[in-house]
């Protein structure tokens, strides 16, 4: 009986890093279930591109910060393909330029729901069938802010520190079940989120920030996607519980 290609869930896949990850996993042979929240046209375009290249992809509208929608995303993947081999927790929101003391409770709660509680819920939903099959991969998309702790990025940094802690703990707990769990912490990557952050910084600070990257430039979403593909491949079979910084050498302030 032929072995079917793996199945990957990628959250926040309509644009930016998530879009590049979904496309790269599809190109590597995975059947992809990609979630989006608002940009239905962009998600549909990505699915069309994947199918045109001979791959399989299913779009699912889901706000992963809502537990029932996160559960429904995993159910769709299981109902459609019968398994989930890869979970990429990429969906995230941020709140640049707001000091912690000025963050409204609603903003704090929303950010933690999407960035931390959403991945937690999705992981719990996929783990049982991964354990049953004794194989599976989770890749959590963190951020370089966990090294820098910049002012004005408090809630976002807190959520990503929590995500990295969850990564390390899950790797220890699930390793005996054949499941690997890693995180990628991008530096500045050319996405809408970066452009919003640079705008808040202002031209001079933004230019200095980019200059502080030793490689002298922002990264591209595809440079994160290629690391995801590596981590879920057999080439990374002895890698788990790691946070891999893909940041051009590490921006400064």
For 46, other C-beta atoms within 10 Å of its C-beta total 26
For 227, other C-beta atoms within 10 Å of its C-beta total 18
The verdict on whether 156 is a catalytic residue reads yes
Of 156, 181, 197, 198, which one is the catalytic site residue?
156
Kind and range of the H or E element at 225? helix 221-231
Q: What is the DSSP letter of 179?
A: E
**In the block, residue with structure tokens 């962009």:** 42
Query: Are the C-beta atoms of residues 221 and 128 closer than 8 Å to each other?
Result: no
Q: Tell me the two tokens of residue 247.
A: 């940041």
Enumerate the H helices of 62-117 as residue ranges.
Answer: 67-81, 105-112
Query: Are the C-beta atoms of residues 146 and 168 closer than 8 Å to each other?
Result: no
Residue 176 CB burial class (10 angstroms; 0-12, 13-18, ≥19): exposed
Residues carrying an active site annotation:
156
């Amino acid at each position: 009986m032929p072995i079917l290609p793996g199945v990957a869930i990628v959250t926040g896949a309509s644009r930016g890093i998530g879009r590049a990850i979904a496309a790269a996993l599809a190109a590597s042979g995975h059947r992809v279930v990609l979630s989006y929240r608002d940009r239905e046209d962009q998600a549909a375009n990505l699915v069309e591109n994947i199918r045109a290249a001979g791959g399989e992809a299913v779009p699912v509208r889901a706000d992963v910060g809502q537990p029932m929608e996160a559960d429904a995303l995993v159910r769709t993947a299981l109902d459609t393909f019968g398994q989930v081999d890869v979970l990429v927790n990429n969906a995230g929101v941020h709140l640049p330029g707001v000091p912690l003391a000025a963050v409204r409770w609603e903003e704090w709660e929303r950010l933690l729901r999407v960035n931390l509680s959403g991945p937690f819920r999705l992981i719990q939903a996929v783990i049982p069938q991964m354990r049953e099959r004794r194989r599976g991969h989770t890749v959590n998309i963190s951020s370089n802010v966990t090294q820098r702790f910049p002012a004005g990025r408090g809630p976002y940094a807190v959520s990503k520190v929590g995500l990295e802690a969850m990564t390390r703990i899950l790797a220890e707990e699930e390793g005996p079940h054949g499941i690997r769990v890693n995180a990628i912490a991008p530096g500045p990557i050319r996405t809408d989120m970066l452009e919003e952050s640079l705008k808040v910084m202002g031209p001079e600070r933004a230019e200095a920030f980019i200059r502080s990257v030793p490689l002298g430039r922002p990264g591209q979403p595809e440079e994160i996607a290629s690391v995801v593909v590596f981590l879920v491949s057999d080439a990374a079979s002895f890698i788990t519980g790691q946070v891999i910084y893909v940041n051009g050498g590490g921006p400064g302030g």
